[in-house]
A and B are shown apart, each in its own frame.
Chain A
Amino acid sequence: MVTRDTPRDRVDERAPADAAGNAGPRPAHREIPAWVLSGAVIAGCIVAWQLLVRALRVPIVLVPAPTDVAHALVTGLVDGSLPTQTWVTLQEILIGFGMATLSGLAAALLVTQLRLAEKALIPLIVATQSVPKVAMAPLLLVWFGTGTTSKVVTTALIAFFPVLVNSVLGLRAADRDHIDMLRSFGATRVQILCRLTLPTALPSVFAGLEVAVVLSVTGAIVAEFVGSSAGLGYVMQATNYTLDVATTFAVLVVLGIVGLALHGVIAFLSRRFVYWSAHDRGAADLR
């Protein structure tokens, strides 16, 4: 679980190193930007993969070459099957993640603001958190059927806990001195919540969302593995049976892109909303 209790400190430690490696003032580093290096490594891996598969004559049902994967990807895109199945899975991810976000934030507010709720709910949360949520997927399939609902619920369940835990940490991060300061200026309880507690929680909430969105992809795919008739998880299983491994790989590529894109959106929103620590980061986080 990623938590950022003092985001500024973290950034401060990281920024100089990243800046130096990225676009720092030292000429030795300025010549090769980081993205060129990492791009070259990725391209090198793909080329090596292609050469190895061809040189060793690896059967396509074991490991397809990158060109085979690209071919499967293009075929899937052209006949419309990949976009259709991606949309099915993406909907499950987005609805499940949305539910997890709303319920996680609401539960965190409840637990941190009401003494009674804290006492009543924390043991339950700790107990349920130790159960692997993936193991619930077959049960949820029985309860909610093979349609979209069981996938959404599985996704929401998996993504719920990182949102909750990080939000609780964030909502508790406001320190005594700041609260005293606001009280000395006559702030009410609600004003302390809105003017201090919530903004203080934001970095931690977003750290939770970044973890949760990646887990949402896992949740939707696992739920589809357990029982479904559509979606990227379904395609992976189906192509596995028919030994169409190139398409399985193509789906993996799509999943990677979906995960990266969703994470990118959250990271972007995080920089927008947590601008006071984001603007310290400068160019360090540019990809």
Chain B
Amino acid sequence: MSGTGVSDSGLSETGTAAAEIVFELSQVSKRYRSTHGATVDALSDINLSVHHGEFVSIVGPSGCGKSTLLKLAIGLTQPTSGRVLLGSDGTTARRFGMVFQQPLLLPWRTVLRNILLPQVLTHELSTEAAQERAHALLAMLGLESFANHYPTELSGGMQQRVGIGRALMHDPSILLMDEPFGALDAMTRDQLGIDLLRIWEANRITVVFVTHCIPEAVLLADRVVIMTPRPGEIADVLDVQIERPRTLEHVNTPAFGDYVARIRAVFDQRATYH
């Protein structure tokens, strides 16, 4: 619908042609069979390319298949048809970190040992290097003084910071986030969003950020992928040309409001609000 967006196909060449593609979905469909035997199209003909260093938000109401999309990306579920590529060399190498809606920390491990969990599972780094990295992440997330606390002693926002630290443990090239701030209050949510931008800019990683919150998607992303449900498909893609670094001040600018309104219009047109 809008000029800046490129719908469905051929959205790989939008000014960032030089950067390599780190995540690509080609004609991906995912069909579930419900308990009553009916088939549900969770995803229908999804084409999406994410370039290195990009911050992409995927926004849509619940049931539009945006979480399924991330599960496909990391191999937790397989597509019914189509192709999923993750990693710069076209393989699904484990160079990603995943952040979930809930912090999903292990209550018997301290904050430090929760962040070290990927290391415990894969032993990718030496013990010293892992410790050093974990402490550096704690410092970056402002959690140094909580290293030896247990998750139950932390607020929801702090727990989610630990979840982000854990995802960054192995220095992933792509960070996948499934409504990571969805369970937090509005103020904590804003703060973590700004913190995330800082981390993204400092670490030069790629972020795919799934959310149902339109302003959040606009504030964070270079590109907003708009998804609608039944069947789950990409309705439009919007380039967000607001200068960086971004702050919460940007939320009050007319340009910001314009982007939000344009995304809302896509949903209104598709009558996805009930």
Contact = CB atoms under 8 A, between A and B. Distances in A.
Q: A and B from one assembly?
A: yes
Interface residues of B, number: 20
Interface in B115-138: 117-118, 120-122
B106 A184 contact: no
B248 to A, nearest CB: 30
Contacts of A187: 121
Contacts, number: 48
Contacts of A8: 107, 152
Specify the main secondary structure of chain A where it touches its partner. Answer: helix
A8 B152 CA distance: 9
Nearest to A12: B152
Nearest to B104: A181
Interface stretch (A49-57, A117-125, A239-247, A273-281): A273-281
Interface stretch (B50-58, B94-102, B221-229): B94-102
B120 to A, nearest CB: 7
A184 B74 contact: yes
25 contacts: A8-B107, A177-B100, A178-B106, A180-B100, A181-B104, A182-B117, A184-B74, A184-B76, A185-B98, A185-B117, A185-B118, A185-B121, A186-B94, A186-B118, A186-B122, A195-B106, A195-B117, A199-B106, A275-B108, A276-B108, A276-B150, A276-B152, A277-B107, A277-B152, A279-B150
A279 B76 CA distance: 35
A180 B74 CA distance: 10
Contact of B100 (A181, A191, A199, A279): A181
A183 interface: yes
A183 B122 CA distance: 11
A196 interface: yes
A10 B102 CA distance: 20
Nearest to B122: A186
- 9 closest pairs, A vs B, by CB? A184-B98, A276-B108, A181-B104, A185-B118, A276-B107, A187-B121, A199-B108, A184-B74, A185-B121
Contact of A182 (B94, B121, B152): B121
Contacts of B121: 182, 185-187, 191, 195
Contacts of B108: 199, 275-276
